[in-house]
Structure 1
Amino acid sequence: MSWAGRRWGRRQRAVLWAVLLAAWEAAWGQLRYSVPEELPKGSFVGDVAKDLGLQLPELSDRGVRIAERSRKQYFFLHRKTGHLVTAERIDREQLCERVQQCVLRCELIVEGEMKVYDIEVEIKDINDNAPTFREAEIELRMSETTAPGSRFLLPDAHDPDLGQHSVQSYELSGDEHFSLAVQAGPGGDQRPELVLAKALDREEAAFHELLLRAMDGGDPARTGTARIRVTVVDANDNAPVFSQAEYTVRVPEDVPVGSVLVTVTATDADEGPNGQVKYSIQKTTERASQIFQLDSRTGAITLLQSLDFEEGNSYELEVQAHDGGGLFDTAKVLVTVTDVNDNAPELTV
């Protein structure tokens, strides 16, 4: 081949590469639009005909069509207007969950001119989701001896929206015993914590009902709630208390054996084993221990032997009430025996 022929061949290849490069530049990133999510079907996205310089009467003749890169078609070309419109309602969270920038790509193919144009449509987030908690009811158990200032991690709320439309703050309402602290997590997320602000007392309140509220940054803000039920676990912080410090009873000496003379009663504000009261005689005389019996469960004092006014006209018992944790209270029981005419006169010379 001559030098002129080789030069002409190089020139042809250079022109071909220039044409291909121009076509490649036209095909990539030529059109880019941005629309909010959740638009109804048929909503305007962009004026493709105007942006590409296509004449409306020639759209049908040239065989212009939209080809989606995904299996689903989200856009179509309106042939009368040359507008790119939505083919269905688009949910950004369903397409691009946890992705900062959600972009859908399609191609505009002009078959009559053998041209292909890339179109990118960015789907903008809107505040269409409210924060939600995984569990609507949160159960916590705390001992009534828990120190004020103690912290308990709470479940955080989830919002699939991004940026300001995601969870921005938490609020707690319902009880002066508790407050809320919010800590920043490793990824910048917020983590709510329940703080015990005031000492608990199960005898005062066995349960505490709270409401945790999560809010996003939308305008207006969307909120989600979870109910917190705190069960106060009993501690043995109450001793049994007798209804009387001293019990006094008067009985005739002829009262039948087995009779209940008096019943002592003590109550304990605790629950479970800590609130179960048992009774015992703590202090008495040898003679009295043979005459009286105390029921450890009911507190009833019964007569074991017959009384005799002439042998003893009064007895004193010290009884004790104790719970399962070792706390106790004491009371006195005074039994006065009254005389009955059960002896005939005796003559002594």
Structure 2
Amino acid sequence: MSAAGRRWGRRQRALLWGVLLAAWEAARGQLRYSVPEEMPKGSFVGDVAKDLGLQLPALSHGGVRILDKGRTQYFALHGKTGHLVTAERIDREQLCRLVEKCVLRCELIVEGEMQVYGIDVEIMDVNDNAPSFRQAEKDLRLSETTAPGSRFPLAEAHDPDSGRNSLRSYELSGDEHFSLAVQAGPGGDQRPELVLAKALDREEAAFHELVLRASDGGDPARTGTARIRVTVLDANDNAPVFSQAEYTVRVPEDVPVGSVLITVTATDADEGLNGLVKYSMKKETDMASDIFHLDSETGEITLLRILDFEEGDSYELEVQAHDNGALFDTTKVAITVTDINDNAPELTVSSKLNEISEDAPAGAVVALLHVEDRDSGRNGEVRCSLDVGAPFRLEKSYEDYYRVVTARELDREQVSEYNVTVRAADGGSPPLQSSAVLALRVLDVNDNAPVFAQERYSARLAENNAAGALVLTVRASDADWGQNARVRYRLGDVRFFPIVVF
């Protein structure tokens, strides 16, 4: 089978697994699917209509839709088929470069049922990236007195793919003086090291050219290379030594840009150029280089941009101190970011009624709300409330969703319109809050009878009046509205009372 055929088969198996998983998750109000990355826009993800038992007429009339929360929408609901499809091409490495399992979340609302379903879509990796080195060329300076067996860390390759498609192995080509060793890092990553296999002799060879090759586990495998140029120097027999094996610091997320977070210090017992210490990041990720700056001369680590606890609450840097030769020491810098209450609750009206009949029973749903707060701990704990005295109450619906329902029967003749304010406040000190206003009109029902202005009317009438002469005028009013308040009059039985003279 060709490589293209194998990739197609893997994609089909991934889609089949997503369909089988969705069948039993749907009953719990939660759907789970999977789809390979880089699929074209409009690609099938899952049969939402089938999994939830929805009718196609409801879909075509807009009764079922994907909720829009202002974020990028990666999925859409096909109105004719009820299929969940991709709304654009999805790059897993762009969305989930910091996590192993890439899951995108969207929510589907069924208007008629006032029901929300969560949908998790796992983005499966394909081998679309080759391993690459941050530096395509590395200059290494070694003393000719370096003992055989000495090890020197090499730049690690980076492959944004995951699983078997990620980095798998290293190979070194060069000469007999060097070999390659690969160590496992704390996180399971592979760290290549250059091993001096044979003593160096500057007079025999002042330079050595090596090639480090990194390969991933894809089929076919992708590779990347880095060139290593080793310069042989005269003796430098003392390495720099850090004052601490590990540095730790805690900083609030609102620390000003440009602040010095911590300073690392290393000393070298050598003199002159061999004792001059400089600092560098041993393993510098794209994110770390965007946030922190290490001064190579002073060892100060400063902040380049505003921290965001919600984006990252801890960072670990590996700092290397090296002298003018090839000797070095390594330390770890752990930076912990503490949260401040800098995010107000986000209150969104997902669905609502504009009008309701006054004879609606208590407990009738008039709105569906969603609330979330990006802060953590007490700063992210949200409490919702309604206006005091309003005939409505809040009910928890699904996760961070709330329903606004009637607390009792309504009376249009007392209040015909409501502007209900919903407030969301977090637990910070001071608390941050947001609000939304629900405008609701109460529709009339014919629940009031006409009432005469007087219980009894009397009039004096001269005899022999012509037909059609006005006798008296009666008045009645109805508290209802519109057609229900229109009053008509008719006479009942007319009785005459004779006058008896004694």
Say yes or no: TM over 0.5. Answer: yes
- Hey, what's the Cα distance between the residues in 2 that align with 1:143 and 1:83? 66
Match of 1:164 in 2: 164
- Hey, what's the Cα distance between the residues in 2 that align with 1:35 and 1:92? 11
Match of 1:92 in 2: 92
CA shift digits 1:124-156 (9 cap, x unpaired)? 222222222121110011223322222211121
| Shift of residue 228, structure 1, vs aligned partner | 0.1
Structure 1: which 5+ runs fail to align? 1-24, 236-349
Match of 1:215 in 2: 215
Match of 1:112 in 2: 112
CA shift digits 1:131-183 (9 cap, x unpaired)? 22121110011223322222211121122222322221110002121110111
- Hey, what's the Cα distance between the residues in 1 that align with 2:229 and 2:195? 14
| Shift of residue 77, structure 1, vs aligned partner | 0.9
One-letter amino acid of the structure 1 residue matched with residue 145 of structure 2 = T
- Hey, what's the Cα distance between the residues in 2 that align with 1:192 and 1:26? 46
- Hey, what's the Cα distance between the residues in 2 that align with 1:186 and 1:120? 30
CA contact (8 A) 2:105 2:119 kept: yes
One-letter amino acid of the structure 2 residue matched with residue 77 of structure 1 = L
- Hey, what's the Cα distance between the residues in 1 that align with 2:116 and 2:189? 43
Match of 1:155 in 2: 155
CA contact (8 A) 2:75 2:86 kept: yes
CA contact (8 A) 1:69 1:105 kept: no
- Hey, what's the Cα distance between the residues in 1 that align with 2:50 and 2:26? 15
CA shift digits 1:93-116 (9 cap, x unpaired)? 222222132221212222234332
| Shift of residue 202, structure 1, vs aligned partner | 2.5
Alignment of 1:176-195 (within 5 A): 176-195=176-195
Q: Structure 1 residues 124 and 75, CA, compared in 2 at 3 Å: closer, same or farther? A: same
One-letter amino acid of the structure 1 residue matched with residue 153 of structure 2 = L
| Shift of residue 188, structure 1, vs aligned partner | 1.7
Q: Structure 1 residues 68 and 39, CA, compared in 2 at 3 Å: closer, same or farther? A: farther
Alignment of 1:67-78 (within 5 A): 67-69=67-69, 71-78=71-78
- Hey, what's the Cα distance between the residues in 2 that align with 1:158 and 1:47? 37
- Hey, what's the Cα distance between the residues in 2 that align with 1:231 and 1:40? 50
- Hey, what's the Cα distance between the residues in 1 that align with 2:203 and 2:218? 43
Structure 2: which 5+ runs fail to align? 1-24, 236-502
Normalised by the length of structure 2, the TM-score is 0.40
CA contact (8 A) 1:36 1:123 kept: yes
CA contact (8 A) 1:62 1:113 kept: no
Matched, 1:132 2:129: no
CA contact (8 A) 1:61 1:112 kept: no
Q: Structure 1 residues 70 and 97, CA, compared in 2 at 3 Å: closer, same or farther? A: farther
- Hey, what's the Cα distance between the residues in 1 that align with 2:26 and 2:92? 28
Query: Which of 1 and 2 has higher RCO (CA within 8 Å, sep 6+)?
Result: 1
Match of 1:106, SS? Answer: strand
One-letter amino acid of the structure 1 residue matched with residue 93 of structure 2 = E
CA shift digits 1:28-82 (9 cap, x unpaired)? 6432111111111111101111112223234222522111456110011111221
Alignment of 1:229-248 (within 5 A): 229-234=229-234
Q: CA RMSD in A?
A: 2.2
- Alignment size in residue pairs: 211
Match of 1:196 in 2: 196
- Hey, what's the Cα distance between the residues in 2 that align with 1:138 and 1:116? 55
CA shift digits 1:268-317 (9 cap, x unpaired)? xxxxxxxxxxxxxxxxxxxxxxxxxxxxxxxxxxxxxxxxxxxxxxxxxx
Alignment of 1:263-274 (within 5 A): none
Match of 1:13 in 2: none
- Hey, what's the Cα distance between the residues in 1 that align with 2:68 and 2:104? 9
Matched, 1:173 2:146: no
- Hey, what's the Cα distance between the residues in 2 that align with 1:151 and 1:26? 55
Normalised by the length of structure 1, the TM-score is 0.56
Match of 1:112, SS? Answer: helix
Match of 2:408 in 1: none
CA contact (8 A) 2:27 2:52 kept: no
One-letter amino acid of the structure 2 residue matched with residue 151 of structure 1 = R
CA contact (8 A) 1:27 1:117 kept: no
- Hey, what's the Cα distance between the residues in 1 that align with 2:62 and 2:38? 32
Match of 1:31 in 2: 31
- Hey, what's the Cα distance between the residues in 2 that align with 1:27 and 1:52? 8
Q: Structure 1 residues 29 and 112, CA, compared in 2 at 3 Å: closer, same or farther? A: closer
CA contact (8 A) 2:179 2:197 kept: yes
Matched, 1:64 2:64: yes
**Residue identity (%):** 82
Match of 1:146 in 2: 146
Match of 1:49, SS? Answer: helix
- Hey, what's the Cα distance between the residues in 2 that align with 1:103 and 1:231? 47
Match of 2:54 in 1: 54
CA contact (8 A) 1:68 1:105 kept: no
- Hey, what's the Cα distance between the residues in 1 that align with 2:223 and 2:188? 20
Q: Structure 1 residues 29 and 168, CA, compared in 2 at 3 Å: closer, same or farther? A: farther
| Shift of residue 234, structure 1, vs aligned partner | 4.9
CA shift digits 1:223-266 (9 cap, x unpaired)? 1111000112257xxxxxxxxxxxxxxxxxxxxxxxxxxxxxxx
Match of 2:210, SS? Answer: strand
- Hey, what's the Cα distance between the residues in 2 that align with 1:228 and 1:135? 10
